A and B are shown apart, each in its own frame.
Chain A
């Protein structure tokens, strides 16, 4: 199974844009209001740095996946335990996206459709892609969907010029100050992109050189989109409303009114978001099942994928009945301990050990 750099680019950009359009803008705007774009920009830079660092780790261990080189660097027992943290993380990301998409569809369009129907459709599609060839198929899909998706999401930002007032982001800095801006960054940065998927994906890249360039570009494209999107949301709604909008990009598409004629175009964007969510979910499902098959030694990762998706469905359904489980976005434990560990802590340790080893060998 190999994917090209081009496919990786689309996979990375879609899966980060989909989560970007849904979570971080509100989280940042809650803390730093009209300066939330600075928070997002800082967060984007932090994420670019992390991506770069993760790529260093991947380049050191090109011939293995995360599970493989973790075992190499940290020893079998410790390596297996720490990788389990990543499995947990991907599983939660997957459930977060699945639940978000299903809830959103229930809220906006399908008022009476049971959640299990929406979820099973999404799950079926992801498992089908997995069965038909795993990452190769997902990469192909991303390659086809990507250009439409990215173009439409960028285009959407420029559809309400008549409602924009640039002055709404003024005064810059004075109202919030560094503390609030950093607070906004910290609470939103974890939901901008998931750099940990690269640790798995990189192994499947055909040409490592182009792949790492593609990953950096994919991250940059979605980060740029995030900053522009935050600015546009602020221009259109002003800081006080932006802090309250749970799905800001959706609300933005509701405001569009071109010449009083083209209105209510959210119906065009909703399918697009669902398709984007499919890519994200499928990528997560693939790396989770492939990783688990390496972890357990059970080679049929497709079967593992099936089992995971059933557990996943059960978890999301159970979670939707338990408000506390399904609303963990602002959980201090996650934001201040778990995500930094997964995104920065562990890759940093791996990089460190990898570099020392290399040094010793030479």
Chain B
């Protein structure tokens, strides 16, 4: 009898401790962080803001006014943890960063402080997943970005995450970013957002965070330049990170335009003549689908198709070449050409890898295009 009682108590004790009851955290004791913002503060401090979702309001788009589905808490501290801890002290729930989608860093912070020191926390603390995206906020503060509303999405951060996904710019996770920061032959490329007032309906206009371009960062993560939207997709393509994009080119002696959807974006690097690392050839590949044609020509004719493909290749080549030259003037090798040279000319690379930002400027890069016209759409000649 005693034995049974003893065993029963003992097993209850075991069950309680093995299920981790000493550390239980219920779902209603958690606060999910969806976005984090880093801003510059005086005296060597940083301001960390956390965007926390209010779960009960998330599924209620009808009551948009007045009751938003999130709130933002911020605090200053010497590092990310200290500031977050200050926020935690004011919270009734435990902060959980496992589901974060965006880390926004203000342009001011990039200028005045060292972004590299933020990454230790990202890798060291097991609460981070490195699946989120790091973006830069141009102009305003990053905290302001977290506080914005969005016309369709419940949170501005979710909107940005989806925006990048849907537009075929997927390889911008913070893991990717940290890897590029640590590699000697490639430099990171970071989405830049700008807060702009947009008139969304007749009654009111509201501030919305819009994709402004991509920042070209050097080895010390200082911004060397920002590629605007007409050029940025090309640069993403050339750095091997794009998956699809659109292209519009002049046609018929600049009288008309034609537009394409480009899919299966790829890029390939080779050195010219096969052995000269100082002269690189970057070949971009894609499949094009003609989706709009303002001219009167019948695109189902083979001659026109040939001409179209030739013209598309030529035009894209010209644009990409000028983008590369622009980036080369700034210095940072966002295309990973250094990494290619590192892989293929490892011994030559050893003498080049220090100061690559500077040496990259002197590498001659030629762009070649290999775009195939896959389809002219579902109508041949324009409807008259």
Contact = CB atoms under 8 A, between A and B. Distances in A.
Interface stretch (B84-92, B133-141, B339-347, B369-377): B339-347
B54 interface: no
A263 B131 contact: yes
A111 B23 contact: yes
Interface stretch (A6-14, A90-98, A167-175, A335-343): A167-175
A243 to B, nearest CB: 10
A257 B343 CA distance: 28
Main DSSP-derived SS at the B contact region: helix
A109 B23 contact: yes
B14 interface: yes
A322 interface: no
A357 interface: no
Contacts of B344: 171
A356 interface: no
Interface stretch (A205-213, A234-242, A306-314): A234-242
A250 B123 CA distance: 12
B44 interface: no
B98 A264 contact: yes
B381 interface: no
Contacts of B342: 170-171
A159 B130 CA distance: 16
Contacts of A167: 339, 343
A174 B131 contact: no
A174 B353 CA distance: 14
A108 interface: yes
Nearest to A163: B175
B347 A108 contact: no
A108 B98 CA distance: 12
A121 B123 CA distance: 30
A121 B18 contact: yes
B126 A244 contact: no
Given A113-B23, A175-B346, A255 B18 contact: no
Interface string B1-33: 000000000000010011010110000000000
A171 B343 CA distance: 4
A111 B126 CA distance: 12
B270 to A, nearest CB: 14
Contact of A110 (B20, B123, B130, B346): B20
A237 B17 contact: no
A118 to B, nearest CB: 8
Interface string A250-265: 1000110100100110
A121 B18 CA distance: 7
Nearest to B170: A162
Given A240-B179, A240-B183, A257 B22 contact: no
A254 B130 contact: yes
Interface of A: 107-114, 117, 121, 124, 163, 167-168, 170-171, 174-175, 236-238, 240-241, 244-245, 250, 254-255, 257, 260, 263-264
8 contacts: A168-B179, A170-B342, A171-B342, A171-B343, A171-B344, A174-B347, A241-B123, A257-B131
Minimum-distance CB pairs A-B, first 6: A174-B346, A240-B182, A170-B343, A171-B346, A238-B179, A110-B23
Interface of B: 14, 17-18, 20, 22-23, 98-99, 123, 126, 129-131, 165, 175, 178-179, 182-183, 339, 342-344, 346-347
